[in-house]
Amino acid sequence: MDRIQKYWQQVMAIFCFTLIAACATQDRQQARYENPPPASSNPSAYQVDFETNSYDINSAGKRTIEYVADRVRGDDSATVTVVGRTDTTGNSNYNTDLSERRAYAVRDALIATGTIAPNHVETKWTGQDRQAVGTYDDVAEPRNRVVDLYIH
């Protein structure tokens, strides 16, 4: 596939993801996150990357978590939505569990900073669904092995 086709595929994937985000609704009581956070008044978004089959937070991820904690410091109305994701390597059930473990690892690290109360952190996960980069099964895609953090 030539570079132009790849470019347009990426543009279309971003467009589709943005469209889904704009149409999504958020259910705060739902544990498993089915849709990306709704497009609101420009929430801030950050990512923590993970290695394959891991939910250990690396040093770059720790810096991101500290940055997010600093952004919400002193704002008692702020909430952070944490969404765990995986790529398509492994089976779907395993990936759902892994994305949950990633989400809770980031949630716990964020709360451990002492800047945000646990009831101001929404923890959700998608498994291998709702990927940033759509792939076939068993494709290791680093851009899908993330936890997204959205500040509202």
Helix (H, G, I), strand (E, B) or coil at 114: coil
**Separation CA 72–CA 141 (nearest Å):** 30
pLDDT at 8: 63
Q: Taking Cα atoms as reference points, which of 96, 110, 90, 94 lies closest to residue 151?
A: 110
Domain range for residue 94? 3-151
Alpha carbon 83 to chain centroid distance?
A: 4
User: Tokens at residue 35, please?
Assistant: 């849709």
Bridge partners (DSSP) listed for residue 124: 83
- Segment 104-126, tens digit of pLDDT: 999 999 999 999 999 999 999 99
CATH number at residue 8: 3.30.1330.60
- Is the pLDDT at 84 greater than 50? The verdict is yes
Say how many domains are in the chain. 1
**Separation CA 60–CA 49 (nearest Å):** 8
Helix (H, G, I), strand (E, B) or coil at 80: strand
**Separation CA 92–CA 89 (nearest Å):** 9
pTM comes to 0.72
- Segment 24-72, tens digit of pLDDT: 433 333 333 344 444 344 458 999 999 999 999 999 999 999 999 999 9
Radius of gyration (C-alpha) of the chain in whole angstroms: 15
pLDDT at 136: 83
